A and B are shown apart, each in its own frame.
Chain A
Amino acid sequence: MPEDLAEIYRSTFPALVRFLYRKVWDVERAEDLAQEAFARAVVHKPESVRGWLFVVAANMARDDARRAARERRHLTLLTSEPASAPAVDEAVHAEAERSRVRTALEQLTPRDREVLLLWDAGLSYDEIATQTGLARGAVGTTLARARRRLVEAFAAGERDEHIARG
């Protein structure tokens, strides 16, 4: 493996997993996909490795999501199983928060979400522009909108839950 790629792997892998996790919502799956992206980079030797990795990862996550949608009925198979051990309150709380953020993220437009996740994964405006086809000057505007909508959607979700709970 080329030295520089190994270095990029060390520095970028966690960010790539974070990026993928917000798409597939399964950390093991996200790691598998991230590893596969790097494995492909070994073969393809792209010029701009980091940007390339995120493009490939995004594509893989999209394929993964399509397949998951097709098989959603199977997913219900085991989710109805009672938990083997009572989870502690903190874990329940964290899971609820995560699920709220996920719902909020899903209310963003695909492009806004993509730009936000790429920025959060550590890509620069230049890299984001290259990857998404946006003009560099539009990245800030897109990010501003994406962040505002995320925060608003999250707050709206919390409000709805409070109303629902009475």
Chain B
Amino acid sequence: MSISHVDDGQLHAYLDGELPQAEAWRLEAHLGECPACRGRLEEQRALIARAGELLALAAPPARDVPPFPSRPGDAQPPPPARWPARLPLAWAATVMLALAAGWYLRGEPPIAPAAPDRRAAAPHDTARTVPTRQAPESKTLAQQAPPAGRALPEADEAARSVAAAQRDQMISGSAVPNPQITPLDQAARAKPPPAPAAALAAPLAVRWETIPWDTARVMLGVEPARIPNLPAVAKRRSAAERVVLVEQQLASGTVVRLHERPAAEGAPGMEVGAAAVQRVDVGERLARYVGNLRVEIEGALPADSLSKLLELIR
């Protein structure tokens, strides 16, 4: 056969098993009488093998296939918590405090996991593969979490100022006592808001007091979880309630709050011993569970950093 030599593209298609039959026969006929092209065939075979090896080096670690996603959005990763520093901190604090307060008052988790981490649950969780099971949880989330700040238009302004003051206090770690009656309390009394809002509004005045690290350790019976190599402030709401809040400031505008109870009691909303990392997307603020630890992130933190952070905590 005296046709021109085969080109690399044909050789690769041939070696990939993608050359149409007729062309493959022609190519083989040529190879049969052309040692140069046979040599190139072997070169390209080695090249394909080498490229495959390299790509394999850059393969993700093998993991179980998670359950089939039931709806769009379920599997959607949370957007990185992006709170530009210029966003009024008061608003942020209002939402944060309202959520936290609602959670403690009710003695229930403030938010049902909207998108439980499928990896952790993959081996044993069959419920989540059924789409309809998730709907009620999502509704709970919608009712409980986001409207906290907005449900009280008349108290909103007051809440902002109080919350801002409290937040500053929390971050600075000082223990300045709050006024006994806050503007928000007054607003709430003057005009009782609808029930869910009331549950959220009242405890806005609740404060976390800074406690010595040793005290936190005694409360939990173990060393409180924290991010290594970062200053941490331990706080509690009351001596009776065995919840330790560890606050750590990652950067200006980014605060991590770790809520922890003694191991035997588990994280609120979590079965004891569930070593799962659950995450809950609350507007732009992230709350995740690592074991029995509730992690709240406030401020800008991209997903990559978040994963690293959670690894560190674990």
Contacts and interface: CB of A to CB of B under 8 A. Distances in A.
Interface of A: 1, 5-6, 9-10, 13-14, 17-18, 21-22, 26-33, 35-36, 38-40, 42-43, 67-68, 71, 74-75, 77-79, 81-82, 84, 94, 97-98, 100-102, 104-105, 116, 119-120, 124-125, 137-148, 150-151, 154
Contact of A6 (B14, B16, B44, B68): B68
B133 interface: no
A9 B11 CA distance: 32
Interface string B272-314: 0000000000000000000000000000111111011101100
B169 interface: no
Contact of A150 (B9, B18, B54): B54
Nearest to A17: B60
Contacts of A120: 52, 55
B7 A38 contact: no
A31 B47 contact: no
6 contacts: A29-B77, A32-B75, A39-B75, A78-B308, A105-B58, A151-B51
Contact of B307 (A21, A26, A116): A26
Given A26-B304, A78-B308, A147 B48 contact: yes
A31 B305 contact: no
B57 A35 contact: no
Nearest to A71: B302
B5 interface: no
Nearest to B129: A1
B229 interface: yes
Interface string B35-56: 0000000001001101110110
Nearest to B250: A77
Contacts of B229: 81-82
B305 A75 contact: yes
B70 interface: yes
A77 B305 contact: yes
Per DSSP, chain A at the interface is helix
B71 interface: yes
Contacts of B9: 137-144
B308 A81 contact: yes
B194 interface: no
Contacts of A32: 75-77
A102 B309 CA distance: 23
Nearest to B131: A1
Interface string B69-99: 1111111110010100000000000000000
B165 interface: no
Nearest to A147: B51
A143 to B, nearest CB: 5
A141 B305 contact: no
Contacts of A104: 54
A79 B305 CA distance: 8
Contacts of B71: 39, 42
